[in-house]
Amino acid sequence: MSTAFTFPGQGSQAVGMGRDLADAFAEAREVFGAVDDALDQRLSTIMWEGPEDELTLTANAQPALMAVSMAVMRVMEKGGISLKDKVSYVAGHSLGEYSALCAAGTFTLADTARLLRIRGNAMQAAVPVGEGAMAAIIGLPAEDVEAVCSEAADGAICQIANDNGGGQLVISGNKTAVEKAANLATEKGAKRAMMLPVSAPFHSALMAPAAERMGEALAQVAKKRPEVPVIPNVAVSPITDPEDITARLVEQVTGRVRWRETVEWFGRNEVHTLYEIGSGKVLTGLARRIDRQIHGITVNSPADIEAAMKALA
């Protein structure tokens, strides 16, 4: 059996995130300072003190989540945990894929912070406010959700954005189409269909302008082969070639986050321990619902780090 490190996506942010790490570890403070410098902004102050609505902004939440993940990584590295010696694969949920690649050495910390700031701004700007929407569909098979999206689209955009597992799918696209799809899903027997309080229709074809912008930004950034293979959201198979990684990151902006399939891939390939590196515990909960044979471990506090380092030693 082997181990993978996974990295959380948007929605795992919370005011106060990373403060305990900064108080306890110089390596964490260095990460937060470097991200602040890269963005020319005291992002760490927003992370620790809020206000919450400012932290929740896509352009802030994305680099903030990466910063906490990398603070955990740097502390563990200082404690003697080498990614290439202890971990077989890395993966991240949406923006978490950038955190995974930073942890694996593909991107520098400063470049990752700047890429995520560009990504957040580009995704927000891709669609005028109010024209796009997302909804969570609970308890309806994926093929039925696909059918609902097709029926509701009627020339507009409506597609599955996230397959999170545990019977949870998220749809994204034009607001009227998504609202219609949510109603149809309820009629077809979904346990729940709820509109999400998001600022843009992420992971849909409406994000094409953002995908183009990320292609331009990624072309200008130095990339190294990751120390361990990454499992990209849109492909669900290990990759290490920097150009392949770039292509998958661009595709990810408009493509589906295939998290259920990612966890299932881990299970089929004897990866039975997943350490969730960073803020929150969303991915640990999802892993438990997707495959009961997989052991999920959350690592985001000083005590978590100490326990993880003992287990991995």
pLDDT over 80 (residue 1): no
Catalytic residue among 94, 99, 172, 279: 94
CATH of the domain at 24: 3.40.366.10
Where does a domain end: 198, 226, 250?
Answer: 198
- Domain span holding position 157: 132-198
* Per-residue pLDDT reduced to its tens digit, 161-194: 999 998 999 999 999 999 999 999 999 999 999 9
Do 58 and 188 lie in one domain? The reply is no
Do 42 and 150 lie in one domain? The reply is no
H/E segment holding residue 115: helix 109-125
- pLDDT grade, residue 309 (50/70/90)? very high
- Span between the terminal Cα atoms of the chain, in Å: 16
Do 8 and 117 lie in one domain? The reply is yes
Do 108 and 235 lie in one domain? The reply is yes
CA distances from 143 to 150, 162, 184, 195, 294 (A): 11, 14, 14, 20, 25
* Per-residue pLDDT reduced to its tens digit, 45-62: 999 999 999 999 999 999
pLDDT at 170: 98
Query: What total number of domains does the chain contain?
Result: 2
Three-state DSSP class for 159?
strand
The CA distance from 210 to 212, in Å, is 5
Encode 170-202: b = buried (16+ Cβ within 10 Å), e = exposed.
bbbbbbebbbbbbebbbebebeebeebebbbbb
Where does a domain end: 147, 167, 198?
Answer: 198
Q: Which residues contact 152 (CB under 8 A, 6 or more apart)?
A: 158, 177, 178, 180, 181, 184
Instruction: Output the CA angle 58-59-64, nearest 5 degrees.
Output: 90
Decide if 203 is catalytic: yes
Do 300 and 284 lie in one domain? The reply is yes
* Per-residue pLDDT reduced to its tens digit, 199-232: 899 999 999 999 999 999 999 999 999 999 999 9
The whole-number average pLDDT for the span 91-97 is 98
Give the number of residues written for the chain. 313
Q: Which residues contact 244 (CB under 8 A, 6 or more apart)?
A: none
The whole-number average pLDDT for the span 145-158 is 97
Do 171 and 225 lie in one domain? The reply is no
pLDDT over 90 (residue 198): no
Q: What is the mean pLDDT of the chain?
A: 97
Do 109 and 224 lie in one domain? The reply is yes
Instruction: Report DSSP letters for 189-241, one per residue.
Output: T-SEEEE---SS-TTSGGGHHHHHHHHHHHHTS-----SS-B--TTT-S-B--
Residue pointed to by tokens 């990339």: 223
Q: Count the Cβ atoms, other than its own, within 10 Å of residue 93.
A: 26
Angle between helices 26-39 and 58-78 (to 10 degrees): 150
Do 96 and 210 lie in one domain? The reply is yes
pLDDT at 114: 98
Decide if 295 is catalytic: no
CA distances from 212 to 61, 103, 246 (A): 21, 25, 12
The whole-number average pLDDT for the span 102-116 is 98
CATH of the domain at 186: 3.30.70.250
Do 235 and 101 lie in one domain? The reply is yes
Report the predicted TM-score, pTM, of the whole model to 2 decimal places. Answer: 0.97
pLDDT over 80 (residue 281): yes
Where does a domain end: 175, 198, 221?
Answer: 198
The whole-number average pLDDT for the span 124-135 is 94
Do 98 and 31 lie in one domain? The reply is yes
CA distances from 41 to 30, 35, 50, 114 (A): 15, 8, 14, 11
In the structure encoding, which two tokens stand for residue 109, read together? 């910390």
Three-state DSSP class for 244?
helix
Selection from 163, 73, 57, 174 nearest residue 116 by Cα: 57
pLDDT over 80 (residue 7): yes
Catalytic residue among 44, 69, 172, 203: 203
Do 227 and 298 lie in one domain? The reply is yes
The whole-number average pLDDT for the span 98-122 is 98
Selection from 185, 127, 129, 136 nearest residue 156 by Cα: 127
Phi, psi of 14, deg, nearest 5: -160, 145
Do 33 and 172 lie in one domain? The reply is no
The CA distance from 190 to 34, in Å, is 45
Three-state DSSP class for 312?
helix
